[in-house]
Amino acid sequence: MTTGRKRRVTPRPVRKNSVRRNTLSDLHGTDPEVPYVKTERAVRDLVCSLLERQDRMNEELFRRIDDCRDEIDEVSEKLAQISDQIRESDGGPAGKSAGSGAGP
């Protein structure tokens, strides 16, 4: 048996605290093999652009809702005017009752 066969193949046990500390330093480092910082920037930019787009869409929707409310108010006013004109041309509600009671 050679001494090479008696060597340990598995890595030495390492404390979890040191592994976590090394992992955090690797993730936040500028090492090109760990692109965490670049990925974080790209994701942040993507999320910010999506939020800005959503804000613009919401503003446009609220603007359209306000326009629709204004149009509904205008239509309601016109409808009230038309119904008043119809009542006046028919003699109004009081004229109808007086005219219908004056029959033979």
Domain spans in the chain, listed from the N-terminal domain onward:
19-91
pLDDT in tens, the chain (104 residues): 455 566 656 667 767 677 667 766 766 666 656 667 778 888 999 999 999 999 999 999 999 999 999 999 999 999 999 999 999 988 755 545 444 444 44
Q: Tokens standing for 86? A: 């119809």
> Of 55, 23, 28, 52, which is closest to residue 39 (Cα–Cα)?
28
Distance CA 75, CA 71 (A): 6
Tell me if 77 sits within 8 A of 68, measured CB to CB: no
